[in-house]
A and B are shown apart, each in its own frame.
Chain A
């Protein structure tokens, strides 16, 4: 059996997540990915914002930084630029990264700075009790959308792609093995990498949207996800109500800290 204890901070358990929450499954996939990567724990820094997902760092025995709402990416930018040798993983949620922190999300992608962003998408503000988020599908209910969400939702992965990220993938907690592989790839990629992780929130989202039972939410994840290869063969009508999973973008682009390093080197050489 895989030894999770090596990587967790046992003293902080039991964790704060509700039973049936997907975030624990992400935590396990993340730990397995970290183990597979073989990177020293001292050389990893995990930076998070505010929300249920952003509590993940408290449970992982690496350097961890729990910041302010929406600002994990700028804090992480400072860490990475101060010491580019460190592997910096950002853990954030849909509200944290695409509402209050949306500006940082698109600009870090544009800059293509070598950060790995694990963006847990649960379609809702879980920690504050179920308010509507930028990814809540139109028509779905939230505590601040009691008659159903009137706004269209963001497609988080498309947003990262359009803004210039060099690696974008979407995974989900129903397919936990696949998720682990996506995280490994994302960390290995030099440049701004995003893994959007569909993680169910039965407490705040499911209960309001006829999926109160965690199993129901897992089935929903299973049924709505379509691997990228299959997605290509679907007609627009068949794609309706589905989301593609797997690697969406994987391109090589100039990375920001490398560019900055080169500038420093060239100025040294001039002297």
Chain B
């Protein structure tokens, strides 16, 4: 029997997988600005977007790209931008706007080393705290992570789903190695992908209040041009969408922007857990470092050391419960990351000092190797 060619199996780099995921998630608007190592996402979408009636625009700067994405999303299109560290910094004010006005959109940050121009062509994970706190003001944040081209594809789709569901910007953090490594990606049948589209109002325009209190704390924003005339602002606003100085209403709004994430933690957070059941040492790693960590777990086991891995695919909200639960079963944590301990602090906080947290950090633009992880695990024991 002749073997059927599997055209759903391809070789692609992480950035291509991201673009592909966006298209399959129903993204129909991309605005961006060239920046290494993310530009292939824009290049791929420049090619594929118009063919399905979508819009691609290269804006005059990073800030403008973020603004255009918000405008397009309010007009009803699933919208995305992609950037790297310096551009991510520039976008922060408008990311905060999207959080405040509750506009769904996806921001991909292909991380490189910093601060400043830093290392444009080398990987880093130095923006994980920027993703949480980069924009001024208090608000909940959803930031996803991916460690392979396959996962980048899947996480891009998840980013759109979460943004449409929770009405907010969702950040996808990958790093240069994931973005530029070409590897196998198995594409699902388009019909088999579960997609979430933002709710639309069912009441008449006369009764419509964009930021009305809802059971799940998530507003229902009508697409511009559908007969529901309302106001959107970055100022503190009440249920009508107009600015307010009423302290009670302000308090309610600001708390809700955080609570809407806290309340739905279970639906959002996710970790891969490998061989944790009997582990003495738990490795905490994400992104490309998690690939080395997986290998390290097996190398450790071969050497008779009981190591396990907890790999969050959602960095924010931080998987505090999962980390605490893990801390209760192990003797030590090893947190491996390409920064100077940005997530190790979170692991320390979440594990409530039950166990010692050992840090493995690399900031020279090179990957952490499996051997380095194994060594650190030995030290930790």
- Interface residues of chain A, those whose CB is within 8 Å of chain B, are 9, 11-12, 41-43, 45, 47, 57-58, 61-68, 71, 73-83, 85-86, 103-104, 107, 260, 263-264, 267-268, 271
Contact = CB atoms under 8 A, between A and B. Distances in A.
B29 A71 contact: no
Contact of A58 (B57, B66, B69, B243): B243
Q: Which 7 A-B pairs have the closest CB atoms?
A: A78-B71, A74-B67, A78-B68, A82-B75, A78-B72, A74-B64, A107-B60
Nearest to B96: A68
B229 A47 contact: no
Contacts of A260: 50, 55
Contacts of A11: 240, 242
Per DSSP, are chain B's interface residues mostly helix, strand or loop, or mixed?
A: mixed
B201 interface: no
Given A66-B233, A263-B50, A77 B76 contact: no
B293 to A, nearest CB: 39
Contacts of B149: none
Nearest to B54: A264
Interface string B345-361: 00000000000000000
Contact of A74 (B68, B73, B233, B235): B68
B65 interface: yes
Interface in B60-89: 60-61, 63-77, 79
B322 interface: no
Interface residues of B, number: 43
Contacts of A62: 229
Contact of A79 (B50, B51, B71, B227): B71
Contacts of A83: 75-76, 224-225
Contact of B75 (A67, A86, A103): A86
Given A67-B97, A67-B234, A267-B50, A75 B71 contact: yes
A215 B111 CA distance: 57
30 contacts: A41-B229, A42-B225, A45-B225, A58-B231, A63-B224, A63-B225, A63-B230, A65-B71, A65-B231, A66-B235, A67-B67, A68-B234, A71-B63, A74-B63, A74-B64, A75-B67, A75-B68, A78-B29, A78-B69, A78-B70, A78-B73, A78-B74, A78-B79, A79-B71, A79-B224, A81-B29, A82-B76, A107-B64, A267-B51, A268-B53
Nearest to A71: B67
Nearest to B67: A74
B31 interface: yes
Contact of A104 (B64, B69, B74): B64
Given A79-B72, A82-B72, A264-B50, A74 B229 contact: no
Nearest to B97: A68
Given A58-B242, A68-B94, A264-B53, A81 B229 contact: no
Interface in B200-222: none
A107 B60 CA distance: 7
Given A12-B242, A63-B230, A85 B53 contact: no
B45 to A, nearest CB: 14
Contacts of B240: 11
Contact of B64 (A43, A66, A81, A103): A103
A103 B225 contact: no
B30 to A, nearest CB: 11
Contacts of B227: 42
B187 interface: no
Contacts of A77: 31, 57, 59, 64, 67-68, 71
